[in-house]
Structure 1
Amino acid sequence: MANFEEQATQTLFDNNHITGEQFEAIQAYRGLNLFSVHNELKFLLYLSILMFTSGIGILIYQNIDSIGHTAILGLLLLVTLICFYFCFKNHPGFKKEEVLFPNPLYDYLVLTAVILSCTFVGYLQFQYQTFGTHFGLATLVPTVISLFCAYYFDNKSVLSIGITGMAAYLGLSVDPKHVFENEMIDNTYLSYVGLAFGLTLLLWALYANKINLKKHFNLVYLTFSLHLVSIACIVNLFEDFWLLFGLVLGIATYYFYNLSYQIRSISLFLFTVLYGYISINILFVKILDSIHFEDLSSVLIFTTPFYFIGSIIGFIKLIKHFNKNTTDDSIR
């Protein structure tokens, strides 16, 4: 990393983008060997919020008989309202562009308030059936709260909670238990819902970018869209209309691949390549199966190790090519 920074600085100096004095000042600053603990502190803050909200849940579960439902709900509501009070008091207000809190600690206070809101609504429905048999409303209400807070307070973490809530409302379970049980694979209807929801998120990201509404949220929407569209299409590669879904996945892979270069997102690039690689292998196996795979079994057994080695080498070259292009563009 240090060598890369030195080369980038030297490139800027050689192209006359910085003066000799600026070049020497940069070199002197790097010679101090200072480092930032900003990311580490943010991680600890995020971890503390998760531990705090989890601790409240454990406290409620272990002492529910002695504390009482009304007292628990009242305490949850009180803490949530206090968090929201300080958030609204210290935020400049909603704007279409990015607006930050004067102090980044309030971002984590918003996250705490939203998680507590979800806990409050869920507990209210579980204990008193406030929404009756309309269990979807118990998911929809926290989702609406999360999306409102995400846009008003400009918080990407809360936006992720809101999108996850929408997915849950549509029947797409995102918890690890259902993922490992392959719920979407067992139910093709859910794969259609996931595909439609993923495309909707993509269209919303494009529309929001066009009207300049929180453009920095686009990567969150695009990431969710990529996962939903790709997984839904891969699931349907094993169904009767596999050719149609293969075509959709090919178009999506091509689109997200080019988009990852435009917005310089390494995460979007890696997942696009991964999903594309998985789909190509599935289609390759289906083609072999249609032309009597048994006749080529000996050849495939011999060539399979070379295929995987070549795949690894190709993957590494793709990453190097991505880093080179995005880095060169940023320097120029």
Structure 2
Amino acid sequence: MFTRRTFLTGAGLGAAGAVALTACGNDSGGGGEGGTAVTVGFIADGNGATIVAIAEQEDLWAKHGLDPTIEEFTDGPLQIQALGTGDIDFGYIGPGALWLPMEGQATVVSLNSLGRADRVIAQPGIDSVAALRGKTVGVAEGTSSDMILSLALEHADMTTDDIERVAMDPSTIISAFTSGQIDAAAIWYPHIETIRQRVSDLVELDVAADFPELEFPACEVAGPDIATEKPEVLAKFQAVVKDALDWAAENNDQLPSLLADYLDAPEESIAAEMEHVQNLSSQDLLDAIEDGTAAEWLTSLNELYVEFDKTDEVVDVSSYFLGEEFVNA
């Protein structure tokens, strides 16, 4: 059995606490006795834990010949760093960190879901993005919410120069917002639900809905060279992901309960997050790979990252997305 960490509700957790959680993580091995040892990162929210939670419950690690150690992280960029240092073999990132694989720092091994769980939220009385001018806004650097904040400001004909932008980890955003130390925040569900329990009249700006032409995929990632250096391990992991995606798609009503149990989190918070997530079955992803839809999703985000100076150029999707390997796994 994996050991499980207490869900990051933000109660009293500052940056130091978040770093400590990230460094320690879940360090208990899985049930794949005799399987290939791998270390897998995840984020302690519903979308970020979906693959590892289902894989544990359904014993998918052993089924596909893997013996995992599971490590918890607070965000995607930290997992990209851990891939680079060899501390983990696979990890999870949201769409806000996809520019890092596009720059060659990792490879995408699967697209798990499409989500619109990110928001810009504001204290009561601030009812628009334009009203944030001159206000203090907390944001988790390099995450999907960071991207959503940039989109929101652009949509309002503003830039980050028009606000006081403060980089914070998610738990610090929660405590800073609930204590009134910041005027607004770019953050995602289920953290928004945690904040709402303390600031019931917060203003939620559904920024993602303003950009229906964009899709925001969450991904499993690995190091840049895994396809050439460890193709068999890659195939085993992608097989686990395929089965986990299918379980999530077929048992969507059971998913909040499973995830809440895995994360020791309130089920209502996870359910609130999952309302904004479209789980992809393995066939959904296979179809999207084969008809070019997945490449369109990724290219649109790549173009956005160029616009926001996150990356320099639009690159070929095949240079970082192992779609063909997923099809064959």
The TM-score range, normalised by the shorter chain, is under 0.3
Relative contact order: is structure 1 or structure 2 higher (C-alpha 8 Å, sep ≥ 6)?
A: 2
Structure number with higher strand proportion: 2
Structure label with greater radius of gyration = 1
TM norm structure 2? 0.19
TM norm structure 1? 0.19
